[in-house]
């Protein structure tokens, strides 16, 4: 599976941004897909994941501000981010889950290149 995250850019704090994850090579229909992020000098951290049938999970730090969704027909997963904070600045990655805990990056088998989100004051 090849994944490509897109939609990043610069936004002011309090603003919104939508990210997309496009998959090719295999249908995402039966997979859980997750979003992770990595800020400079920090470890990659879980943001959100969505199961094949639409069950969504969120990190506490983004709960209420971020919504994950998917369109299996288009082989796409989306991340809508609202009320962005400075600490949301990071490279955002989408990944296909393999086995185990959804919030554990090591449990994901395929990763996209990432897209940079910069939140400024």
Q: What is the pLDDT of residues 46-71, one digit of tens each?
A: 999 999 999 999 999 999 999 999 99
Residue 87 has a pLDDT of: 96
Q: What percent of the chain has pLDDT over 70?
A: 100
Query: Looking at residues 72-77, what average pLDDT do you find?
Result: 95
Please, what is the average pLDDT of the chain?
96
For tokens 């850019």, name the residue.
9
| Confidence bin at 73 (pLDDT 50/70/90) | very high
């Amino acid at each position: 599976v090849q994944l490509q995250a897109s939609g990043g850019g610069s936004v002011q704090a309090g603003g919104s941004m939508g990210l997309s994850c496009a998959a090719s090579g295999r249908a995402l229909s039966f997979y859980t897909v997750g979003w992770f992020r990595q800020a400079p000098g920090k470890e990659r951290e879980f943001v959100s994941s969505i199961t094949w049938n639409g069950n969504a999970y969120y990190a506490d730090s983004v709960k209420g501000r971020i919504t994950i969704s998917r369109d299996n027909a288009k082989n796409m997963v989306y991340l809508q981010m609202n009320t962005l904070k400075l600490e949301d600045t990071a490279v955002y990655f989408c990944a296909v889950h393999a086995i185990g805990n959804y919030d554990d990056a090591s449990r994901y088998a395929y990763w996209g290149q990432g897209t940079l989100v910069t939140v400024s004051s």
